[in-house]
Amino acid sequence: MALTEHKKPEQPDSGILVVNQSRPTKVNCWSCGAMRAAHFCQECGKVQPPTPVDYFTFFGLPFRLNLEPEKLEGEFYALSRHLHPDINAINSDREQQWSLEKSSQLNDAYRTLKDPITRTEYLLRLQGVQLEEQSKAATEEARRTGKIKKQVVPPDLLEQVFELNMQLEEMRMNKKMGEPDRTLERELQDSRKQLQDKYNGLLQELQAAWNQWDGLIDRAEQGGSVLEEDRIAVRDTMVDVLNRRSYLSNLLRDIDEVLES
């Protein structure tokens, strides 16, 4: 039976997600009726039924990319103390089920947001960008046609990558024959260092894009207007940085594999 990945339909490219329209809603606790119940009831501590929300909203955060890791961690621990299945182990079946779903939501959200890269990717996905899908589709296409998956080499790396691939190939052969070439190894280590510097530079570029993005969010929060082209420009910058980062990170991994083998 054929199994194909489903491509998500194009989402309309609207700017609505810039605006944080999703403060945690206050609802009545199903158990004691008190107000102020988003994840658990502030009055009686009971876990509340799960609702489908994005990860930023789950933590009650605006869609900002700069966030304090310690604060996020603290919030994660505090919520875990109420939502985790161990806390609800002797409660009703219904509460146990909610606890399971809510704590998985919590863990998924924390895992995604605590890492700067996955956080950025997630935000871009909320903005309608299909990072993984592009890569997945390319992989599937490559498999089907038998061609090697095309990776777009960032232009500034073209020359270096060409040479590096040759060196890696030579190094692999040497290792296979059991004749390590010290000179080649040193050259590879030098290349690795250069690439690592480029990689770190990319992270700085990303940080700059984050700041721009957060500026737009802040403006929207304060009731200011955000130009559609500004939003798209920052978004596309981030997509570009992430694509280059992913390419570099694969390259670094390949070098490490060869050097460590």
Binding site for another protein (CB under 8 A): 1-6, 8, 77, 80-81, 84-87, 89-90, 100-101, 103-105, 107-108, 110-111, 136, 139-140, 143-144
* Cβ distance to another protein smaller for residue 112 or 191: 112
Reading the block at residue 112, the tokens are 């995604």
∠ CA 68-70-71, nearest 5°, is 65
d(Cα 213, Cα 62) in Å, to the nearest integer?
Answer: 12
Distance in Å, CB of 207 to another protein, minimum: 20
Cα pseudo-dihedral 132, 73, 18, 8, rounded to 10: 20
d(Cα 94, Cα 157) in Å, to the nearest integer?
Answer: 55
* Cβ distance to another protein smaller for residue 89 or 232: 89
Distance in Å, CB of 255 to another protein, minimum: 16
| Contact call for residues 36 and 42 (beta carbons, < 8 A) | yes
User: Measuring CA to CA, which residue among 252, 254, 251, 247 is closest to residue 154?
Assistant: 247
d(Cα 161, Cα 174) in Å, to the nearest integer?
Answer: 20
Distance in Å, CB of 150 to another protein, minimum: 17
User: Measuring CA to CA, which residue among 103, 43, 111, 49 is closest to residue 78?
Assistant: 103
* Cβ distance to another protein smaller for residue 79 or 216: 79
| Contact call for residues 131 and 124 (beta carbons, < 8 A) | yes
* Cβ distance to another protein smaller for residue 84 or 172: 84
Distance in Å, CB of 223 to another protein, minimum: 35
Distance in Å, CB of 81 to another protein, minimum: 6
Distance in Å, CB of 218 to another protein, minimum: 31
* Cβ distance to another protein smaller for residue 80 or 151: 80
* Cβ distance to another protein smaller for residue 80 or 246: 80
User: Measuring CA to CA, which residue among 238, 234, 161 is closest to residue 203?
Assistant: 238
Supply the DSSP symbol for 209.
H
* Cβ distance to another protein smaller for residue 135 or 174: 135
Distance in Å, CB of 142 to another protein, minimum: 9
* Number of alpha carbons in the 13 Å side-chain half-sphere of residue 255: 24
